[in-house]
Structure 1
Amino acid sequence: MNTSHPGNVGATARAMKVMGFDDLVLVRPRFADVLQQEETLAFASGATEVLERARVVDSLAEALDGVQFLVGTAMTPRDFGPPCSAPRPLFEGLAARAPRPSLGLVFGSERFGMSNEDVYRCHALVSIPTHPDYGSLNLAQAVQLLAYEWRQALGGFPVQARTKPPELADAQAVQGLLTHWQQALVDIGFLDPAAPKKLMPRLNQLVNRAGLQSEELHILRGIARAMQKAAAQDKSPC
């Protein structure tokens, strides 16, 4: 409502897109061309389709088409009006309803928040829990937090895993590494082949516990080569 900063509009579009939402309605923004301004597009960071779908209207009433449950954002408690709660319990309750109502979130202007008249139109209010000594949230930050909470109430998105799990080194390659390390340790004088004790079996157990990946094994082979090269240089005549 009455947003005055183009950057906030762009950042809001970005916040919505990453949570899978695209229905943005601006009520009496300060600049009529805010959706096309350079700052808006820069802060949208690629979420241009949200801006392209966005509507600009003159009143909150015009923005409510298709909205069945309207939630306002209010940091300051009101003496009169709809109940206020934290976002998570409210959204979880709405998501569990059958049928689930279509949700609309109303954000006030950056400077003045929501007017009492607009608050009274809402079915409920949410207040984002913040540190009691400092609760100042940028408009786009508030949109991001509430969009995240609503998406989580709807089931969320799966965490993107690696497309290909790392490849573990096979036992033959591990034994090749240990043979290489044994010779390198002899070359630098760390291992006495006449009295090896249990050094190599212990190293064998160590690498087995580590579960070396193939790339890691190659790194250790490279270290062994560097050790042998350094030992050879030390033994070479000046």
Structure 2
Amino acid sequence: MKTMGLSQLVLVDPKPGIFPSDEATARAVSAVDVLDNARVCATLAEAVADCTLVVGTTARERHIGPQVMLPRDFCAEAGQLAGDGEVALVFGRERTGLTNEEVDLCQRLVRIPTQSAFASLNLAAAVQILAYEWIQSAARLPQAAPEGYRPARSEELEGLIGHIDRVIKRTGFFAGKNQDAILRRIRRIYARAALDTNEINILRGQLAATEKTLDSATAEP
């Protein structure tokens, strides 16, 4: 991380004895300060709550979920998507990667091309490749967001998705359907839209109005 200019490390529910540990400190060599300043969170949702762009890494093709991009393509557009906000580069577990629930929190996914027979990179290699593409893109391209653009934070987007879920359930739309698959497609729609805070508020206002209409309908004799 440090060799590529990245210094903000956030660890989600690290295993006891893995961090903090003497072994981790010894392996950090000249980057002990990165470990010393690392933030530990209980969940990924907590870790990325204040980020305006969350990108996960995956070793496999996904047909439902966030848009999957090559590292260089993602890095080229990340600045405009994130605005002045924080970007979270999310890496999964060494053996199993990210869970479906963790992928749901991402607006984009990055897949590093490899030989199909052995597609998974170890964690350190994946971090180094993506960090390299990130710093190269920052040096090569102007990434200023449009003036006045205030991209929504992850917690705002999650609030919208939760609100949509509640309203849809009340309409009966999920009846007889795969609710999880539908919600993942809805997430993908809104992640691709790169909504700003004002747009989130407008959509939630519409949902609140729908809830009032539903309340009135159920209250009528």
Whether the aligned pair in 2 keeps the contact of 1:94 and 1:100 (CA below 8 Å) is no
How many residues matched? 140
Distance 2:50 2:107 in 1: 15
Match of 2:89 in 1: 105
C-alpha distance in 2 between matches for 1:99 and 1:73: 21
Give the structure, 1 or 2, with the largest relative contact order (CA under 8 Å, sep 6 or more).
Answer: 2
CA contact (8 A) 1:28 1:57 kept: yes
Alignment match, 2:114? 130
Q: Could you say which residue in structure 1 is the equivalent of 2:24?
A: 40
For residues 35 and 93 of structure 1, what CA distance do their matches in structure 2 show?
Answer: 33
Q: TM-score, normalised by structure 2?
A: 0.59
Does the residue aligned with 1:45 lie in a helix, a strand or coil?
helix
Tell whether 2:127 aligns with 1:140: no
CA deviation profile, 1:89-112 (whole Å, cap 9, x unmatched): 111012355835421011111121
| Mapped contact 2:56–2:106 kept (Cα < 8 A) | yes
Identify if the C-alpha distance between structure 1 residues 98 and 87 changes in structure 2 by more than 3 Å, giving closer, same or farther: closer
Q: What is the correspondence of 1:1-238 to structure 2 with a 5 Å cutoff?
A: 16-31=1-16, 33-96=17-80, 99-155=83-139
Moved over 6 A (4+): none
Structure 1: unaligned runs, 5 residues or longer = 1-15, 157-238
Larger Rg: 1
Greater helix percent: which structure?
A: 2
SS at match of 1:149: helix
**TM superposition shift of 1:117:** 0.7
Post-superposition offset of 1:35: 3.4
C-alpha deviation, 1:134, in angstroms: 2.4
CA contact (8 A) 2:71 2:110 kept: yes
Post-superposition Cα deviations, 1:46-82, rounded to whole Å, max 9, x if no partner, equal 1011001101111011101431100000111223111
* Contact 1:94–1:101 (8 Å) recurs in 2: no
C-alpha contact (below 8 Å) 1:95/1:153 kept by paired residues: no
Change (3 A) 1:43 1:67: same
Which 5+ residue runs of structure 2 have no aligned equivalent?
141-221
State the alpha-carbon separation in 1 of the partners of residues 129 and 27 from structure 2. 17
Identity of aligned residues (%): 44
Normalized against structure 1, the TM-score is what? 0.55
Q: Distance in 1 between matches of 2:128 and 2:72?
A: 14
